[in-house]
Amino acid sequence: MRCTRCSTDKLSIEFPQSPITDACEHIPTNCLRCLSARFKASSVVPGYTGKTCPECHMPLSDRDWIRFMEAIQDSDFVVDMAKIGVVTGARGVSPSIASHSTAGPLASYLGSVNNLPSSMDGVFYVVLLTGENFSFSLNAIRSVQALKIALQTKTKVEPLKQKLIFEGKDLDEYPQNSLAAYGIGSGSYVQLIIVLYAITPTSKIRNVIFRLYWGYPAHGADYLDGHHEIIADLANLPQDVQHLYFVLSAWKSPTIGHFPNPSFQMFDKEKPTKQLCQYCIEKAANSQAVILCCVSRTRQGWEVKVDGRLSAGNA
């Protein structure tokens, strides 16, 4: 794809994956790097004092602004062509910045909407995709392993399923390293992604079944088939398909909260009775739909990650 601003041919993953606002009627034509340079100079629309889309000047809601910053924060990173699927920090991390606190525009905004300080001596934050966050003391948590153990206590997610990212670098690369070695300091925000399952070439899984489940009983006097199955042929997806999102909708009901157990289960199509992973959403009472998970292409295969973000609209 060619960026209309810098006129440079770039990979599709160097552009936002979706329009900046729900109201935008154009595809993203500015690359992430150009958006990063422009977001502070968001154009002014007469009679409107908020933020606007830098391409079409459409006013941005708070939700749109979060989506915008989710996109532009990735513009600080570059793709290593030898490691397709692996995002690497463009600046890297060196001892000279070990004590530097870099929250980034998205993290700063999340801090404001969640009533968190942008910086507090000795405190850093771990944020999930849903916006849920946890604070930790730098004096008490000094290493990646210690952080994962502490997160297990708070989230009930075992360390092997925790993927921690800071400034585009995967903290799993050197689990013995101190947090300071990654540049994590006071006021920093670390992204936590929960990996439910990793599909690698050795697993020999080509097709998977996603069973979306609303929580109705499968048998008995009140029997109702409360699930829907989707088969994903991962082995034959085009290489430019990087992510698959699975959304559970309330359909004709007002909200997801009207169902007892909104969740999904994943199976290997060749072994449909053997469950590979599952996830149940807990906080969807006031939403019409929920993005249950994202299946992302990696250098090694595919990763099934918890998403949990709520959404408006029924399917």
Segment 197-231, tens digit of pLDDT: 888 888 888 889 888 877 665 554 444 556 678 88
Minimum mean pLDDT range among 44-53, 204-213, 302-311: 44-53
The amino acid sitting at 180 is A
The amino acid sitting at 84 is I
Cα-Cα-Cα-Cα dihedral sign, residues 180, 149, 103, 91: positive
In the CATH scheme, what is the homologous superfamily, with its name and number, of domain 200-311? sav2460 like domains (2.60.60.30)
- Per-residue pLDDT, 153: 93
Pairing of strands 263-268, 169-170: unpaired
Cα-Cα-Cα-Cα dihedral sign, residues 82, 84, 89, 91: positive
Residue 287 confidence (pLDDT) above 60: yes
Per the CB < 8 A criterion, the answer to whether 80 and 169 are in contact is: no
| Helix ranges (DSSP H) in the chain | 32-38, 62-72, 104-113, 144-155
- The average confidence (pLDDT) of the chain is 72
Per the CB < 8 A criterion, the answer to whether 284 and 262 are in contact is: yes
Give me 139's structure tokens: 């004096």
First vs last Cα of the chain: how many Å apart? Answer: 31
**Which residue is it, tokens 């996603």?**
210
Rounded to an integer, what is the distance from CA 289 to the centroid of its chain?
Answer: 17
Per the CB < 8 A criterion, the answer to whether 288 and 255 are in contact is: yes
Considering 79-88, 135-144, 257-266, the range whose residues carry the highest mean pLDDT is 135-144
Query: Mapped to the 3 state alphabet, what secondary structure does 124-178 carry?
Result: EEEECCCCCEEEEECCCCCEHHHHHHHHHHHHCCCHHHEEEEECCEECCCCCCCE
How far apart CA 311 and CA 290 sit, in angstroms, is 6
Q: Which residues contact 46 (CB under 8 A, 6 or more apart)?
A: none
CATH 2.60.60.30 maps onto the chain at 200-311
Residue 35 confidence (pLDDT) above 90: no
CATH 3.10.20.90 maps onto the chain at 87-195
Residue 307, phi then psi, degrees to nearest 5: -110, -75
Instruction: Provide the CATH topology of domain 87-195.
Output: Ubiquitin-like (UB roll) (3.10.20)
Q: What is the mean pLDDT of residues 58-72?
A: 69
How far apart CA 31 and CA 37 sit, in angstroms, is 10
Pairing of strands 189-199, 123-127: parallel
pLDDT bucket at 98, cuts 50 / 70 / 90 = very low
The answer to pTM > 0.75 is no
How far apart CA 133 and CA 111 sit, in angstroms, is 9
Residue 260 confidence (pLDDT) above 60: yes
Q: Is 211 exposed, middle or buried (0-12, 13-18, 19+ CB in 10 A)?
A: middle
